[in-house]
Structure 1
Amino acid sequence: MGRHLDRAKAYVGRDVSGLLEGGRYSLVHTRSLEFDDLRPYVPGDDVRDIDWKATARSGNVLIKRFVSEKHHKILVVADAGRNTAGLSPSGEVKREVAANVIGALGLITLPRSDEIGMVFGDGRGCVDIRLRRGETHLEYMLQRYLDHACDHPGRSDVVTQLRWVAEHYRHRHLVVVVSDEPEVDDRLDELLTRLAARHDVMWAMTVDHPAIAGPDDPMDADVVGYDVADGATVLGRTDLGRDVIAAYEEAERARREALYESMTAHAVPYALIAGSRGIRRGLIGMTGVLARAG
């Protein structure tokens, strides 16, 4: 296994087999009736698929698995622009957290022989890596993503990547967006409406370190920082004063509330990932929401 996948494996764990299971989670809604094998029941499965005879013999609830349920088509849509150079609350660079999220998704596909591809880039355009299987393909995807994010990336604008997917991916996929928390505007609303009508969409949001350190934050409150998007100076808590800080915190609260309402309105499960150690919990939360949605 390559070094990028090895790094992601430390955060997603060894047992990833159940993270894409579940009747609703099958991306092929007109399921083939060709029986393949049995597997343990997972919350969210259709109870009509329980094999009662096998369940009685084994003492565990078992589900019939069909060929079309077994293989998914997963498309990662990732921001690789300047915003990925920022810090996450864990202290990691956000592109490293994002790469570990993408690697974790890839690791989930391996035992299932799912196909996975990726569209990434910045405001200037997109790189489209077509769906394939296997460790070599996953390692290639991760290396291409990190090369782009590290080598003079352009302005972040994940809407550019979402628009590419809306215009070029006609067949149903599981679309997993990996970016920071997007700005809610008419462009995003229009694209989420289009994408959610055709695909199953989830959003893994890599969280920014707060622009203003909290009073209990170990970072020095007097430190002057900068915005990775445009290089603008970000003053410390002491320089800004109480009124400015209160206004900032209120604006942040309103921004996040609007974002969460938008995701809920479009039925897009999302997770806030503040660092690599939260990846497995975030993926389980998102897949659980999507499974229950059916």
Structure 2
Amino acid sequence: MTSLLLRVKSKMSIFAHRKARGILDGEYGSVFRGRSLDFDDLRAYVPGDEVRDIDWKASARHGSPLIKRYVAVRRQTLMLVADTGRNMAAESRDGETKKDIAVMVLGVMGYLAHRHGDVVGLVCGDANGSRTLPAKAGEAHLERLLQEVDSSTGLGSGPSRLEEQLHHVAHTVKGRKLLFVVTDELAASPGLEQLLRRLRAQHEVLWLTIRDAELSGATHSPDAFSVADAAPLLGRIAASPAVATAYETATAERDAGRHAMLRRVGISEGHVANSHDVMTELFALLERHRRAG
């Protein structure tokens, strides 16, 4: 059996030199900084402190700004939340299988957690149900998680429905965790937004979208079909300027709706179309999340 984690670590070495990996390590470590920690005491504010750490009520009583100090929890929990429905067996925008990109993304995040001494778990599934692999430490466990995602995702999988996995998290994952959600280009909905608000109130949430293939790709493959229902994608129709324009408009509206929904609930989103850009996109996502915090 090919080691997926070894493949992830090899790509990390190829696409990011040591300094860049160190910066990415630092961004991961900053996600929990000042949050998910045990309160210790208060001290006077000094220039450079995070404004979000000011205890405003205590400051008002004291007459000058006071900062909350925390005792770091030694080990945090990263929960990987992955869609393993058949949508993820489709091609991405740059031609790779979305499943392969997902394994790379999940592997990089899991390995960062491992390097920080954190434990990593997995929630994955499709519209037919979800399953949890409990959070544990170690590279062997991380390899098992990646193998689970890889082996569970295919054209024979059930339909993709990320809401099922998110509901599963809401009902089964206790305590404050870092949720890292990897899925394809979902559409916003009132039900999904309400669910995300519930999750965001309890957990840190990061969201990474894997880009769908372009409709124009159907013009180059006479055997192209939709993985959702096996319907053929007719190249002649896909090549029609009117169809292409309508498709682009619908895609832009869907993406704008999702972006707006995630902004409203306070979740940072990243996008990736190939495994080569995973390190860069993860760094940008972690940076956005830190700044938004």
TM interval, shorter chain, is 0.7 to 0.9
Report if the CA contact (8 A) 2:37-2:70 is conserved. Answer: no
**TM-score (norm. length: structure 2):** 0.81
Partner of 1:10: 10
Structure 1 stretch displaced more, 225-234 or 130-139: 225-234
Partner of 1:19: 27
SS at 1:234 equivalent: coil
Partner of 1:159: 163
Change (3 A) 1:7 1:31: farther
Report if the CA contact (8 A) 2:123-2:131 is conserved. Answer: yes
Report if the CA contact (8 A) 1:20-1:108 is conserved. Answer: yes
SS at 2:158 equivalent: coil
Deviation per CA, 1:66-121, whole angstroms, max 9, x where unpaired?
Answer: 76255321111100010111001222111010011111011101221101101000
Partners in 2 of 1:262 and 1:243 — Cα distance? Answer: 29
SS at 2:88 equivalent: helix
Partners in 2 of 1:69 and 1:288 — Cα distance? Answer: 22
Partner of 2:117: 113
Partners in 2 of 1:239 and 1:202 — Cα distance? Answer: 34
Change (3 A) 1:223 1:48: closer
Partner of 1:285: 284
Partners in 1 of 2:167 and 2:206 — Cα distance? Answer: 16
Q: Structure 2: state its 5+ residue gaps.
A: 42-47, 54-68
Q: 2:103 aligns with which of 80, 99, 104?
A: 99
Partner of 1:74: 78
Aligned pairs (5 A) from 1:116-135: 116-135=120-139
Partner of 1:147: 151
SS at 2:266 equivalent: coil
Give the counterpart letter for 1:129 in structure 2: L
Q: Structure 1: state its 5+ residue gaps.
A: 34-43, 50-64, 214-218
Aligned pairs (5 A) from 1:54-65: none
Q: 2:188 aligns with which of 178, 184, 196?
A: 184
Shift of 1:182: 1.3
Change (3 A) 1:31 1:114: farther
Give the counterpart letter for 1:250 in structure 2: T
Partners in 1 of 2:52 and 2:237 — Cα distance? Answer: 61
Shift of 1:252: 1.2
Report if the CA contact (8 A) 1:221-1:238 is conserved. Answer: no
Partner of 1:255: 254
Change (3 A) 1:237 1:151: closer
Partners in 2 of 1:32 and 1:233 — Cα distance? Answer: 61
Please, what is the CA RMSD of the aligned residues? 2.6
Partners in 1 of 2:118 and 2:132 — Cα distance? Answer: 18
The ranges of structure 1 where at least 4 consecutive aligned residues each deviate by more than 6 angstroms after the TM superposition are none
**TM-score (norm. length: structure 1):** 0.81
Deviation per CA, 1:181-230, whole angstroms, max 9, x where unpaired?
Answer: 212112211111110111111111111111234xxxxx755745210111
Give the counterpart letter for 1:91 in structure 2: G
Change (3 A) 1:242 1:76: same
Shift of 1:238: 6.0
